[in-house]
Amino acid sequence: MTEPRAHPSFPPASRPRQPWRLRTRSLHLGARTLVMGVVNLTPDSFSDGGRFPAPEQAVEYALRLLRQGADILDLGAESTRPGTQAGHPDHATVSATEEQDRLLPVLEMLRRERLEAIISVDTYKATTARAALAAGAEIINDVSGFTWDAAMPETCAAAPCGVVLMHTRGRPDEWSTQPQLAPQAVVATVRDGLARSLHRAHSVGIAAESIVLDPGYGFGKRGEENYALLRAQSSLLALGRPLLVGLSRKSFLRHALAARRGREVRSRAALEHASLAALTAAILAGASIVRVHSVAAAVEAASVADLLLEA
């Protein structure tokens, strides 16, 4: 009788366990996936812009995300979706003043309602970051990785606060015309860009323990480039910092579904299902934090992925 053939075990990434130092406290990363809930305060976000015309509505929504299991709330008051270049019909330039007018009332109300809530602010503007930190934000989530505002590194160092450095290839108005990258070039481009952002942070005195890195899915990566990046995501752990990923409702997921079905996908449910699949893959590839729109579903999916990592 022949011996049954041994099947290779599934090889999820080894996720580092380490503290993430924020402005007034620390989070322990790696033991389980943390869920960051998105609260868009914009009228033009690609996913759910314009949902909260009054601050009270945004606060109620944020509190609901906390009840559903969000560990962190990420407040954003300016859209950086593709196609927001000058001359585009949906273009809306947001000044720092307008961004803060949208953001600060919600942040201040949230602090009054839930002082213990951990609040991140999605901004690349140093003046907005400074105002948000003064109002009680713990984390600055800079989609440009300290490349769009020269004053941002010093602003975060002075707080000091938790920092998310995301990789972005170019500006939103360049994304649709950028040349395609080979799969190996995508990973190298992201790794080198994040390494430069890390160096910039360290050069102004931001401690490594305060920094989390984000590969920046969809930000200057087109279609299949995102899948090549996801497949090799665990290699970014060599930079020595935990990873945060945002895959929720990304357009490249919608396009993949459309290609499979041979028609445009309009169903929000289908996109949520694809988002959960990508989220699970990202956790198994070493992500410690996931940034999502649908918190309750993400908490459940992350629990299963975490069990796989533990096994």
Domain count, the chain: 1
Structural domain for 289, as ranges: 18-83+93-310
Start-to-end CA distance of the chain, whole Å, equals: 31
What CATH number is associated with residue 109? 3.20.20.20
Query: Is residue 118 a contact partner of residue 72, using CB atoms and an 8 Å limit?
Result: yes
Instruction: Indicate whether 10 belongs to any domain.
Output: no
Instruction: Indicate whether 280 belongs to any domain.
Output: yes
Residue 250 a catalytic site member = yes
Rounded to two decimals, the pTM is 0.91
Instruction: Indicate whether 49 belongs to any domain.
Output: yes
pLDDT digits (tens), the chain, 311 positions? 454 454 455 567 788 899 999 999 999 999 999 999 999 998 754 455 457 778 999 999 999 999 999 999 999 999 876 554 433 444 456 899 999 999 999 999 999 999 999 999 999 999 999 999 999 999 999 999 999 999 999 999 999 999 999 999 988 888 888 888 888 899 999 999 999 999 999 999 999 999 999 999 999 998 889 999 999 999 999 999 999 999 999 988 988 787 777 667 667 788 899 999 999 999 999 999 999 999 999 999 999 999 999 88
Instruction: Indicate whether 4 belongs to any domain.
Output: no
Nearest-angstrom CA–CA distance, 291 and 72: 9
Instruction: Indicate whether 3 belongs to any domain.
Output: no
Helix extents (H) in the chain: 55-67, 96-113, 126-134, 152-158, 183-203, 224-231, 251-261, 268-284, 295-310
Q: Scanning the structure block, which residue is given the tokens 């000091």? A: 160
Query: Is residue 167 a contact partner of residue 194, using CB atoms and an 8 Å limit?
Result: yes
Instruction: Indicate whether 13 belongs to any domain.
Output: no
Q: What is the pLDDT of residue 220?
A: 93
Q: What is the pLDDT of residue 147?
A: 96
Instruction: Indicate whether 7 belongs to any domain.
Output: no
Residue 291 a catalytic site member = yes
Nearest-angstrom CA–CA distance, 39 and 102: 12
Residue 162: strand, helix, or coil: strand
Instruction: Indicate whether 6 belongs to any domain.
Output: no
Q: Which of 130, 169, 221, 250 is catalytic?
A: 250
